[in-house]
């Protein structure tokens, strides 16, 4: 796996993400799977980066660690100056809810909800004051999602997920397969 940086490399802002020697080992029966070994990186606010590598190289595992969905077996990770390893499960959930916007490789949408309600739901969980439906509608508009259809194509579903990742001003966004085009094809 490699990390390719693209923007804002000379920033003097403090690190938003600082990871040192992250490792993740999963137990599988009597054996172990080393999903991630010794990954270190630093990301400034406003900086963009891409994780690239072959299938099984640990990209999604690293995204789960950086998104506070999982914890490393070893190594340290600080998000906005806070040691994530010292946070409780509930504190990590609060960080995910308030500071991280996710765009997952799988869509994770609730099939019974329309596009607007799927994007509004995280705002309601957050206890967002104001008008969450209006904010969700604005996020959908930003990603080019027009009027919903009965059976939306993959591109429309991807735009819904992208809109959920834009809700409201997360500290950073994590996208698994961010180069995928709205029509579901590689970028």
4 and 50 in a single domain? The answer is yes
Q: Judge contact between 143 and 115, C-beta under 8 A.
A: no
pLDDT tops 90 at residue 87? yes
Number of domains in the chain: 2
The pair of three-digit structure tokens given for residue 83, joined into one six-digit string: 């040691």
Return the top range by mean pLDDT from 47-56, 141-150, 153-162.
47-56
Q: Which of 28-42, 91-105, 138-152, 164-178 has the highest mean pLDDT?
A: 28-42
Q: Count other C-beta atoms under 10 Å from residue 92's C-beta.
A: 19
Residues 56 and 105 in one domain: no
User: Of the residues 87, 119, 145, which one is the last residue of a structural domain?
Assistant: 87
Residues 79 and 107 grouped into a single domain: no
Same domain, 83 and 1: yes
Query: How far is residue 20's CA from residue 41's CA, in Å, rounded to a whole number?
Result: 7
In a domain, 136, yes or no: yes
Determine if the pTM surpasses 0.85. Answer: no
pLDDT (0 to 100) of residue 41: 93
Domain that holds residue 82: 1-87
Q: How confident is the prediction for the chain on average, in pLDDT?
A: 77
CATH value at residue 114: 3.40.50.300
Is residue 49, in this structure, part of any structural domain at all? yes
């Amino acid at each position: 796996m490699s990390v390719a940086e693209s923007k804002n490399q000379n920033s003097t802002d403090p690190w938003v993400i600082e990871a040192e020697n992250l490792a993740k080992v999963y137990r599988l029966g009597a054996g172990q799977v080393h999903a991630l070994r010794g990954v270190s990186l630093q990301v400034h606010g406003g900086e963009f980066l891409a994780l690239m590598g072959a299938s099984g190289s640990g990209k999604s595992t690293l995204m789960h660690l950086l998104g506070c969905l999982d914890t490393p077996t070893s190594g340290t990770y600080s998000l906005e100056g806070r040691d994530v390893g010292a946070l409780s499960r509930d504190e990590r959930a609060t960080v995910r809810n308030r500071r991280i916007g996710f765009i997952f490789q799988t869509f994770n949408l609730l099939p019974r909800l329309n596009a607007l309600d799927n994007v509004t739901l995280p705002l309601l969980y957050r206890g967002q004051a104001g008008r969450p439906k209006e904010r969700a509608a604005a996020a959908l508009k930003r990603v080019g999602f027009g009027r919903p259809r009965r059976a939306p194509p993959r591109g429309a579903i991807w735009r819904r997920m992208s809109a959920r990742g834009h809700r409201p001003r997360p500290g950073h966004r994590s996208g698994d397969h961010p180069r995928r085009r709205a029509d579901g094809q590689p970028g």
